Structure 1
Amino acid sequence: MDHLPRVTALGGGHGLSASLQALRQVTDQLCAVVTVADNGGSSGRLRGELGGLPPGDLRMALAALCGDDSTGRQWAGVLQSRFHSPGPLNGHAIGNLLIEGVWQHLGPVEGLELVGQLLHVQGRVLPMSLVPLAIEADVIGADPRRPDDPCVIRGQHEVAVAQGEVLCIRLVPDAPPACPQAVAAVEDADFIVLGPGSWFTSVLPHLVVPELADAIVNARGRRVLTLNVVPAGETEGFSPARHLELLAEHAPALRLDTIIVDAAFAADDRHLHRYAQALGAEVVVADLRMRDGSARHDPLRLASVYRELMVG
């Protein structure tokens, strides 16, 4: 490849942030496509008061793409910091209010572009849809009175903390329109990266937006899936193979080129390679965990794998 690869990364929250921190060390031709179903914390409060898209996951993506110089690090810190007060501003992320203020003048896509220019971000941040969404899940074991029956849980935060096993997710409204610029970014990419992140609330939602899912399935670029270092929360106890099975259930037509798995997570899963083969993918196993042993991706280690895969 005689140019830096064009990479579109899809996800939300801390998982997407980790992926972007790694990818920005490989290329500056980078676009983040971010989930817009957050209903908790500062984003949920703003969504309830103002309507429109929740800014929180978009803010985190912008912070991850801020420059590595002192100004960039300062801006990232400002975006992520929160107000501390006895009044209604308490707990709001400063970056959320900045984004909301710009949106009122320019709208979501142009507003994010302006904030990105202000912060000198390396890359571009887009919402997966211009419609604020809700996540709805079928969960077994959420109701202790009916432990064997599935019940419906609604809301990203509620799904993320639900007791029981999540079976599948849907979006409300059903079949929402994709952000056209996000679809174009997937179509133009040399590499499309899914994950890591909360499987049901950050990764799978992209595959149930029909236009976006079609773009991913039919993309000319190579499709890369990065699995989490440790299954937790929504997927606690799930094997790597079970993560792949859920992906296939939500997007049966999806095929992958590469699946990146942490060595410790892959070690005890004898079904991983068979499931990966069914999706058309090669498995890349590497030590990806933070050196202190915490259950997070080390951006430098992940960047090394991305670089080998995308640049050679």
Structure 2
Amino acid sequence: MIPHAPGVPDVPAPEWSKNPSVVALGGGHGLSASLSALRLMSDRLTAVVTVADDGGSSGRLRDELGVLPPGDLRMALAALCDDSEWGRTWSAMLQHRFSSSGELDNHAMGNLLIVALWELLGDEVEGLDWVGRLLGARGRVLPMASVPLVVEADVRHPASPAEPEPALETVVGQSRVAVTEGRIEQLRLLPADPPASPEAVQAVLDADWVVLGPGSWYSSVLVHLLVPALADALHATKARRCVTLNLSAENGETAGLTAVDHLEALHKHAPGLRIDAVLADPSAVEDVAALEAAAASMGARVIMRQVRRGDDTAKHDGLRLAAAYRDVFEGVYGDV
């Protein structure tokens, strides 16, 4: 049975719950964590990845060649490699970074491979599909938009002896937003009405489940809600929607935010979006009752599972997270 929000009747789990079509949205290490888990339970998997990175190897290639920043796309592809000698070797190759005193320093090999295919084929999606086939990736990787994007945030800084009134600052660039100090009040994309990847929109519309998070909450997760056609698809799809909360607040953009604050930020940027499930690790929830109330206001129920690694680091364990997703998709909401 799949339970809904309180007061809504439970419904039988559909047949697809054993091999659901899943779209995972995000970027960076957070998306890699969800993909590493989801690939263990479904072969109908699509990653829709942010294209706003402006730092490091990705930023350099973006500036020099005018391409989509490939770094988050590369990390998603690496996460979808299977746990065989072939998969581990190609995953390591994608993630390999050069170290030199020249122009190649800190460039990721996977970034260069992806951009080379884009130049040869003239099509970003086709190029990513070719990389996926080379790797034997268990799923597809798509950009969330067809053009490189810039993240912009209004950040409220607390009052201080030097600044007695709270100051509002506009921070521009994903790399700067990710490490900003202060409370982010509003997030924007430049251009403001970017073209969504048509394949990403269709994947969301065709999905059984859409997974948002974990990851850098503003600069990697919520940005998907600001691409109009993609946001429309997230509202219109018949898929169920699962929000995966982070294991801890990050230094920078979410410093000091509670689990409830994360949900409220999502609701602020997509007030009409219905959520069906909120997955959280008990160690990351300060007030269970408050989280349940916040989730219920968005139509969701909370599922609490230990998904943190046993070494007590703020990283997800792939097997534990896969088991938690299985429970979400099959409607097993009781405490475990």
| Same fold? TM cut 0.5 | yes
Deviations 1:51-94 (A, max 9, x none): 12000000000000012110110000010010111110010000
CA contact (8 A) 1:142 1:162 kept: no
AA at the equivalent of 2:142: L
Deviations 1:94-149 (A, max 9, x none): 00000000000222100000111111100000000011000000011299865612
Residue aligning to 1:280: 299
**In structure 1, what is the Cα distance between the partners aligned to 2:119 and 2:246?**
36
In structure 1, stretches of 5+ residues that fail to align are: none
Out of 188, 191, 199, the position equivalent to 1:173 is 191
Displacement of 1:174 after TM fit? Answer: 0.3
Residue aligning to 1:236: 255
- What are the equivalent positions in structure 2 for 1:84-123 lying under 5 Å apart? 84-106=99-121, 107-123=123-139
RMSD in angstroms over aligned alpha carbons?
A: 1.4
Residue aligning to 1:215: 233
Displacement of 1:310 after TM fit? Answer: 2.0
CA contact (8 A) 2:30 2:214 kept: yes
**SS at the partner of 2:169?**
strand
- What are the equivalent positions in structure 2 for 1:55-134 lying under 5 Å apart? 55-106=70-121, 107-134=123-150
% identical equivalent positions: 54
CA contact (8 A) 1:63 1:80 kept: yes
TM-score normalised by L of structure 2: 0.90
**In structure 2, what is the Cα distance between the partners aligned to 1:236 and 1:163?**
8
**In structure 1, what is the Cα distance between the partners aligned to 2:39 and 2:158?**
39
Deviations 1:13-40 (A, max 9, x none): 0000000000001101000000000001
CA contact (8 A) 1:143 1:151 kept: no
Displacement of 1:268 after TM fit? Answer: 3.2
**In structure 2, what is the Cα distance between the partners aligned to 1:128 and 1:22?**
21
Residue aligning to 2:277: 258
| CA gap 1:143/1:55 in 2 versus in 1, 3 angstroms | farther
**SS at the partner of 1:296?**
coil
**In structure 2, what is the Cα distance between the partners aligned to 1:181 and 1:84?**
36
Displacement of 1:163 after TM fit? Answer: 2.0
**SS at the partner of 1:10?**
strand
Displacement of 1:2 after TM fit? Answer: 3.3
Query: Does residue 26 of structure 1 match 2:41?
Result: yes
**In structure 1, what is the Cα distance between the partners aligned to 2:28 and 2:113?**
18
**In structure 1, what is the Cα distance between the partners aligned to 2:249 and 2:155?**
17
Residue aligning to 1:201: 219
Displacement of 1:311 after TM fit? Answer: 4.4
| CA gap 1:280/1:123 in 2 versus in 1, 3 angstroms | same
**In structure 1, what is the Cα distance between the partners aligned to 2:204 and 2:289?**
32
| CA gap 1:165/1:173 in 2 versus in 1, 3 angstroms | same
Answer with 1 or 2: which has the greater Rg. Answer: 2
Displacement of 1:161 after TM fit? Answer: 1.2
Deviations 1:187-221 (A, max 9, x none): 00000000000001010000011110111111101
**SS at the partner of 2:34?**
helix
AA at the equivalent of 2:311: D
Residue aligning to 2:15: 2
Residue aligning to 1:248: 267
Out of 177, 200, 203, the position equivalent to 1:182 is 200
Query: Does residue 163 of structure 1 match 2:181?
Result: yes
Displacement of 1:155 after TM fit? Answer: 0.2
| CA gap 1:280/1:173 in 2 versus in 1, 3 angstroms | same
TM-score normalised by L of structure 1: 0.97
**In structure 2, what is the Cα distance between the partners aligned to 1:270 and 1:303?**
25
> Greater shift after overlay, 1-10 or 89-98?
1-10
Deviations 1:149-201 (A, max 9, x none): 21100000011111222212100000211100000000000000000000010
Query: Does residue 303 of structure 1 match 2:322?
Result: yes
